[in-house]
Amino acid sequence: MHTLSFKDIWSVAKKNILWIIAIPFALLLAVFVLYSYFIPKQYRSDVQLFVTVNANGAASQTYESLLMTQGLTDTYAKLIQSPKVMRNVAKETKSKEAIDTIRNKTTVNVDEKSLVYSISYKSGNPKESALVVNTIAKYASEELKALVKGTKVTTIMSGELGVAISNVSKYIIAFIIGVILSISFLIIAILLDTIVTKEEQLSEMGVDVLGDIPHVREGGKGHETTKK
């Protein structure tokens, strides 16, 4: 197979430039239509809890208390999303959704250095997202205190009216996929291109080249060479 030059690639690209440009923008348009008219907006509300354990009932935090609290971070994170907490949340908020659905919409992140637990809840209703996340924080605090004696839970930030979740990341992903598809389309177009542009291509096909016949373009601007 003959070696492709930049000129060969550019020649094929020019012939398919509309498709190459259209593919990424078509995906962006599809994402816009999808999230504007078919997929409901999602809202997120957040709560932050500061959790500490006072070892041996000490009135203030000690190094031993901090180590103990850090050792319980994974346990506390799982407990926040435990079936018992979710069941109480569903009952108090009178949610029609299943417990597993509420759990799946809940995200818990913990910063072990600061011992702050961030609880987020996504919902199609901004008021519902705030109500549910605050209720989760309420029952989670009770469970955390009941788990280990001396646990103290302080609410740093209560959940407010849910904020619409941005779709910027989805647009970026769609554009990247579009660029990849455009490049793939260009590669396929190059492989399927049957136009002979080099003498080497004729030789590879077993065609003898007897000579070149110059072809003058209209207006006398340059010339092309036809192989015979």
Spatial distance between the Cα atoms of 99 and 81, rounded to a whole number of angstroms: 10
Burial level of 11, CB count in 10 A (0-12/13-18/19+)?
Answer: middle
Q: How many CB atoms lie within 10 A of CB 22?
A: 15
β-bridge partners, 47: 119
pLDDT tens for each residue of the chain, 228 residues long: 456 677 778 888 998 999 999 999 999 999 999 999 999 999 999 999 988 877 555 445 555 666 666 677 888 888 999 999 999 999 999 988 999 999 999 999 988 777 899 999 999 999 999 999 999 999 999 998 888 777 889 999 999 999 999 999 999 999 999 999 999 999 998 888 766 555 565 555 556 666 666 666 665 555 555 445
Crossing angle for the helix pair 6-15 and 17-33, to the nearest 10 degrees: 60
Domain with residues 43-164, CATH architecture:
2-Layer Sandwich (3.30)
Spatial distance between the Cα atoms of 178 and 149, rounded to a whole number of angstroms: 55
DSSP 126-186: HHHHHHHHHHHHHHHHHHHHHHSTTEEEEEEE---SPEEPP-HHHHHHHHHHHHHHHHHHH
